[in-house]
């Protein structure tokens, strides 16, 4: 039986935010014990977008990074810990491994 899609029933904004945190982890994540990562430098939009490594993200897909209720929900579900809203957060092993299914649709990468 295939794994259930979105088993924690995250809403669309929570899914987008977790996807972005996972992408930030690839660029600036500091590994911690147990598969967690400390994210100390979260991106900020300039104009209508921002960059995460080689990807560009629309500002409208990133509103959860500045929404404290989203952070509270992700923490309650065990996907993030130690939030220092809105500057830093720890992405837990569960958050790191959670398949949001959105990376290809919100992380726009150049084809060259």
In a domain, 2, yes or no: no
In a domain, 5, yes or no: no
pLDDT above 80 for 4 = no
What is the rounded distance in angstroms from the CA atom of residue 89 to the CA atom of residue 87?
7
Give pLDDT, residue 15: 97
In a domain, 31, yes or no: yes
Number of domains the chain is built from? 1
Angle between helices 12-28 and 68-76 (to 10 degrees): 80
Give pLDDT, residue 47: 78
In a domain, 7, yes or no: no
Q: What is the CATH number of the domain that holds 33?
A: 1.10.10
pLDDT above 70 for 111 = no
pLDDT tens, position by position, 40-83: 988 877 779 988 988 999 999 999 999 999 999 999 999 999 98
What is the rounded distance in angstroms from the CA atom of residue 57 to the CA atom of residue 48?
9
What is the rounded distance in angstroms from the CA atom of residue 89 to the CA atom of residue 38?
6
- Global pTM reads 0.92
């Amino acid at each position: 039986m295939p794994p259930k899609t979105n088993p924690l029933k995250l809403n669309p904004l929570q899914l987008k935010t977790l996807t972005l945190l996972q992408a930030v982890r690839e660029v600036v994540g500091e590994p911690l014990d147990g598969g967690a990562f400390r994210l100390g430098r979260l991106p900020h939009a300039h104009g209508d977008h921002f960059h995460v490594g080689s990807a560009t993200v629309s500002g409208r897909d990133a509103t959860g990074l500045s929404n404290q209720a989203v952070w509270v929900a992700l923490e309650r579900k065990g996907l993030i810990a130690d939030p220092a809203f809105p500057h830093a957060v720890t992405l837990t092993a569960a958050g790191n491994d959670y398949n949001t299914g959105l990376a290809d649709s919100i992380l726009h990468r150049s084809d060259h």
